[in-house]
Amino acid sequence: MKFSVDTIGQAREERFKEYLPETDDLSLLTLKGHLLVEEILDVLIKSHCQEPQHLDNVEIRFLVKAKIARALTGGLFPDSMWLMIEALNTVRNDLAHSLESKKLKEKILKFTNIKYEHNPELQRNNAKLSDLAKELKRSIHHLFGQLSVAEIVARFMEYQTQQNAPVDAPNDGAPLS
């Protein structure tokens, strides 16, 4: 198995562009962004498993995946990443359980504000609520970028473990694809 930071990063960026279109549809952005984040959470969890195939087809709630991934990765990644994951899940749940949520904009703003509160170097445009979809997509992209770095670290650690395994050691666990 060969390890390439560029390949992983490019694949994630292409996936983001493919599945998160230019749209003002807050529901579409939230649901697809949530699914893209969940994919990386799955990778983070499986990269710490000796036999990750046993997790295939197992239903684990999103928030539980986030908590497991955070527990497995320790303090390697910023608190803001985990706060954004939880806030995105709150937005997604609001959409999933209400056709006309009165708190949707408030929850999206809470999600997007985390990025600015924890990264003072970032400047918020004086966006109007009409630009909420653009801000939502930028914030999902920011989170996705952080998670992509987490995935690269996890895959590198997995690669190092495999490289350091004794030649005669059994390797029953399938490598991550």
Q: Would you kindly state where each structural domain of the chain is located, as residue ranges?
A: 5-164
The predicted structure's pLDDT at residue 128: 61
pLDDT tens per residue across span 118-162: 988 887 766 565 588 999 999 999 999 999 999 888 888 878 877
Q: What is the rounded CA–CA span in Å between residue 106 and residue 108?
A: 6
How many Å apart are CA 59 and CA 133, to the nearest integer?
Answer: 30
Residue that wins the pLDDT comparison between 28 and 102: 28
The pLDDT value recorded for residue 130 is: 57
Give the CA dihedral 92, 82, 21, 95, nearest 10 degrees. 10
- pLDDT recorded at residue 166: 66
* pLDDT grade for 49, boundaries at 50, 70 and 90: confident
CB hemisphere CA count around 16 (13 angstroms):
20
Q: Report pLDDT for 61.
A: 96
